Amino acid sequence: MFDLFADDLLAERNARPLIIIAASKVDHLLFEILSTHLLPKIAKTKDQDELLEGDTPLATFSARIKMCRRLGLVDETLYLALERLRPLRNLSAHSISFDHTKSPAREILSDLRSMVARRRSYRLTKERYFDADPLKPAEELQCIMLTLCVLLKAIKEGVKITPGSRRALKISAR
């Protein structure tokens, strides 16, 4: 399933849809990480999650990024990279004439590049999915976005359901 997403992302050569698609996948992976880690939802199976979906506290991209950081599910450097992805996603989603080579997108992308390109996961993603060295600008953007998704996918696979705080649950049962 993830490989199909990666293939679709790598087929996209235009920056605007590439950023929007990747950010959407990141948002979905953050949702999956949180829904896996947190105690099960109180709502009925067919109903939306009362914390993570709809008009709820953790339904936004920003809130999910911050909650994953506060729960210790992502480290500081990944958190900062995800925080830089947000304004880039917003610019690309809300501007028909989006151009990643012009300010402020250029500076945001430069920050994001410097945060992601030094990671081991970036080098591994580059080796697995790209032949060219150095990467062309479109490939570099693909590699940055795919690296973020690969990292979050790996985190999702490693996350366990929290047992809750035994002490707090014991106190609340009194």
Looking from the CA of 45 toward its CB, the CA atoms found within 13 Å total 0
Q: How confident is the model at residue 43 (pLDDT cuts 50, 70, 90)?
A: confident
Counted domains in the chain: 1
CATH assignment of the domain containing 8 = 1.20.120
- Which has more confidence, 88 or 133? 88
Q: Which domain holds residue 129?
A: 2-172
Radius of gyration of the chain (CA): 18
Q: Which of 77, 165, 83 is nearest to 121 (CA)?
A: 77
pTM: 0.92
Q: b or e along 85-94 (b: 16 or more beta carbons within 10 Å of the residue's beta carbon)?
A: bbebbebbee
Residue 157 has pLDDT above 80, yes or no: yes
Residue 132 has pLDDT above 80, yes or no: no
